[in-house]
Chain A
């Protein structure tokens, strides 16, 4: 399977605990995105990496959230001190950006569904 993969697929945690999600993008895709999707809504942008550099973060990404892409391949999203409002589907997408004039076909993974009790 050469698509975007995410692990775990489901995570149930208690309020106040830390959680970490992993995303493996399509091989050779240099751009990686994290989105959050709540029930009945479209995905909302959280953050963007070009190779290992985190180039944009949404206002939605509070200081409890941190994302990394240490070697420009897989990425992790960590949420510290989880709150019930963090319950959502966390989606990862990747694309092959080829310069500032490139269009941006993004391919999504299956997501990680987080439930905070």
Chain B
């Protein structure tokens, strides 16, 4: 069935360093890949997304890359700050399907040390 694998499960970096989180997906029909940030006690917040017709997208300190052939995509955070500490989730979906349900990865707990 549809599956998204996410690595690493935990990531600790020093403030100012870069962080990279990687995901692989199984459904080759997936064509929309959002990333969410979830803080304790809150719902997931959409931070960036990428569609299958592009290979890379950047928004200030955050970038996402997509390799459709290998079926993997990655989140890159540069110049990390303590407020980046949170749980990050990748997801995949068939945007052109009737439902658009998201299949989530297991999450990565990012800790940015001051």
Which residues of A sit under 8 angstroms from B32, Cβ to Cβ?
103-104
Bound-complex Cα distance A83 to B102 (A): 26
Size band of the interface chain A makes with B: 20 to 34
- Is A108's beta carbon under 8 Å from chain B? yes
Q: Is the CB of B100 within 8 A of A45?
A: no
**B44: which of A40, A43, A97, A104 is its contact (CB, 8 Å)?**
A43
Complex contact B43–A56 (CB within 8 A)? no
Counting from the closest, the 4 A-B pairs by CB-CB distance are A42-B104, A104-B100, A108-B43, A103-B95
Asked if B105 contacts A100 (CB within 8 A), the reply is no
Please give the residue numbers on chain A whose beta carbons come within 8 Å of chain B beta carbons, in ascending order: 4, 6, 31, 33, 35, 40-45, 48, 50, 55-56, 91, 93, 95, 97, 100-111
- 4 more CB-based (< 8 A) A-B contacts, given A42-B91, A102-B100: A42-B106, A43-B102, A44-B104, A106-B102
**How many interface contacts (CB-CB < 8 Å) are there between A and B?**
78
Q: Which residues of A contact B107 (CB under 8 A)?
A: 40-42
A108→B106 contact, CB < 8 A: no
The reply to whether B49 and A105 contact each other, CB–CB distance below 8 Å, is yes
Selected contact of B105 from candidates A6, A42, A55, A102, CB within 8 Å: A42
Known interface pairs A43-B44, A48-B99, A109-B43; A104-B93 also in contact (CB < 8 Å): yes
